[in-house]
Amino acid sequence: MGKKFNCTSCGACCRFVGLRIKQGISKDKFPYGTKADGMTCEKLADDGVTCTIYDHRPTFCSVEKQWSKKFKKDDRFKIKKQYYKWQMMFCKKLQDKVGVLEELLVNPEQYN
């Protein structure tokens, strides 16, 4: 445990992209819109957990690609594990808001 980012594929992050769009994320970084609720990514399948463009999803949606492109130069993170913990704390907050199945709950403590 703890050596890679253990995304549980809960889909919680995909249900809040409307916030980032409202905050002005550029179309270069995230070119999609939302479903009628104004929050959920239009590319999220109706099952609430499956990205319909997963293999072509933007860097913005990938914890690993964001590390390579942006966060490995961030002074807050001396090692990748610290970045994973920071990202997973966001996952936890989102999961707490939307509620997910128990088996999909994340545990940021695995990166201690």
List contacts with ligand SF4 (CB under 6 A): 7-14, 17, 32, 41, 43-44, 51, 53, 57, 61, 91, 94, 106
Pair of tokens at residue 7: 């995304």
Q: How far apart are CA 26 and CA 45, in angstroms?
A: 23
* Contact assessment for residue 2 and residue 81, using Cβ atoms and an 8 Å cutoff: yes
Please, which residue, 51 or 82, has the CB nearer to ligand SF4? 51
What is the C-alpha separation between 44 and 91, in angstroms, rounded?
Answer: 17
Cβ 75 to ligand SF4 shortest distance, Å:
23
Q: Which is nearer to ligand SF4, 61 or 67 (CB)?
A: 61
The DSSP output letter for 53 is T
Between residues 53 and 101, which has the closer beta carbon with respect to ligand SF4? 53
Report residue 58: phi and psi, to 5°.
Answer: -65, 160
Minimum distance, C-beta of residue 88 to ligand SF4, in the bound complex (Å): 7
CB of 68 to ligand SF4, least distance (A): 16
Nearer to ligand SF4, 72 or 93 (CB): 93
Q: For residue 51, what are the β-bridge partners?
A: 44
53/32 Cα distance (integer angstroms): 11
Nearest distance, CB of residue 59 and ligand SF4, angstroms: 10
